[in-house]
Amino acid sequence: MKIPRIYVDTSVIGGCFDIEFEEWSIGLIQDFFDQKYIVVLSEVTSAELAEAPEQIRVLYSKLLEISEFLKISEEALQLLTSYVKRKILSSRYRNDMLHIALATVAGVDVLVSWNYKHIVRFDKIRLFNAVNIENSYKELSIYSPIEVTTHGKEN
């Protein structure tokens, strides 16, 4: 059976050190170390975490050792441009859109985030997926860690 590939954005890693999100973020990270899922990270995540607190950077380093790593590609940048043209989000949130573009182009199974304002939001997911389909990509499933981890109260 194929192991699902899950792209995690910065919020999931930082969530391991936030009382509100730690249970499910830590559970998902444990799922990666237990090889239930393949963690997919990117240059965007690396850049966003470059100045993060040390404990977050240490965890990220450990995840890098077991991850699939995506570099920013011309193909992802072209898809990002399509998102920008459709005004799905303000250009201030370029990195949020770039996470989605990278995950889409890489064909991951799921993108996981705690960003309910710009990413894990029904209306935005529909808009991103409409652009994905227009550009001949498959739809991207987007969830919070609560919906994906096999650990925690909810599961």
Whether 54 is in a domain gets the answer yes
Name the residue range of residue 35's domain. 5-148
Helix (H, G, I), strand (E, B) or coil at 141: strand
What pLDDT does residue 88 have? 94
Note whether residue 79 is domain-resident. yes
For residues 33 and 56, give the distance between their C-alpha atoms in angstroms, rounded to a whole number.
16
Residue 73, domain member (yes or no) = yes
Tally of domains within the chain: 1
- What is the domain-level CATH number for residue 9? 3.40.50.1010
In a domain, 153, yes or no: no
Does 116 map to a domain? yes
- Considering the domain boundaries, does residue 154 fall inside one? no
Q: What is the pLDDT of residue 154?
A: 47
* Average confidence (pLDDT) over 77-102: 95
Share of the chain above pLDDT 90, in %: 93
Residue 43 burial by CB count (10 A; 0-12/13-18/19+): exposed, middle or buried? Answer: middle
Give Cα 8 to chain centroid, integer Å. Answer: 3
Each residue of 13-47: pLDDT tens digit?
A: 999 999 999 999 999 999 999 999 999 999 999 99
How much is the average pLDDT of 110-115?
97
pTM, whole model, 2 decimals? 0.93
Has residue 72 been placed in a domain?
A: yes
